[in-house]
Amino acid sequence: MAVRLRPKFELRRMRPDDLEEVMVIERAAFRHPWSTELFRRELEHDWSTILVCVEPLTSAAGGRATERIVGFLIYWLVHDEVHILNVAVSPENRRRGIARVLMGETEKRAVQAGATLMTLEVRRSNGAALELYRAFDYRAVGVRPNYYVDEGEDAIVMVKELRKR
């Protein structure tokens, strides 16, 4: 008999009622988190997409199925460029391939939208993120000195060309 397994993670666009869960991850992931207001505004911009990665959960009693948000990614689509602003995974769910799923879906959507270039900035000290982006074949093309005003840290600018459909 064929058994259909439920997918481990599912992706969908963030909804206003996800805000609280997303903010918990944002605050745990960044020393200088975005405000709730900034997220609210982001949800209203046509050019902005926030993808959330959800893990389906079933209660121990086998009752109502629920889900929890385990990570999110924010990107902007402007002309033929997709710019990744933020990607974060809740600390207890790291190294489970969640950022990989979010990055893969973002690239898929970028290609579908006709984008030819992916861009992002990353703190020089953020080893985990640098490794993630390298694993997706992003290459460093420049440095913005003191880009993060909070700590005066440099940003590494990374890009990836996409193949046209």
Torsion of CA 115, 88, 98, 85, to 10 degrees: 0
Residue 69 CB, shortest distance to ligand COA, in Å, is 13
Amino acid at 116: T
Give the nearest distance from C-beta 164 to ligand COA in angstroms.
26
- Rule CB under 6 A: say whether 131 interacts with ligand COA: yes
Residue nearer to ligand COA on the CB measure, 69 or 89: 89
Q: Is 132 in the site for ligand COA (CB under 6 A)?
A: yes
Say if residues 56 and 6 touch (Cβ distance below 8 Å).
Answer: yes
Cβ-based nearer residue to ligand COA, 77 or 133:
133
Strand arrangement of the beta sheet that strand 48-58 belongs to? 10-13, 48-58, 65-78, 81-89, 117-123, 153-161, 139-148
What element of type H or E holds 99? Answer: helix 98-112
Q: Which residues contact 121 (CB under 8 A, 6 or more apart)?
A: 144, 147, 155, 156, 157, 158
Amino acid, single-letter form, for residue 15: R
Backbone angles phi, psi at 75, to 5 degrees: -135, 155
Taking contact as CB under 6 A, which single stretch among the options 8-16, 41-49, 110-118, 122-130 is the one that binds ligand COA? Answer: 122-130
Check binding of 94 to ligand COA (CB under 6 A): yes
Rank residues 12 and 27 by Cβ distance to ligand COA and give the closer one: 27
Which range, of 4-12, 110-118, 125-133, 148-156, touches ligand COA by CB under 6 A? 125-133
Residue 48 sits in the site that holds ligand COA (CB under 6 A): no
Q: What is the nearest approach in angstroms of ligand COA to the Cβ of residue 32?
A: 11
Site residues (vs ligand COA, CB under 6 A): 29, 86-89, 94-100, 122, 126-129, 131-132, 135
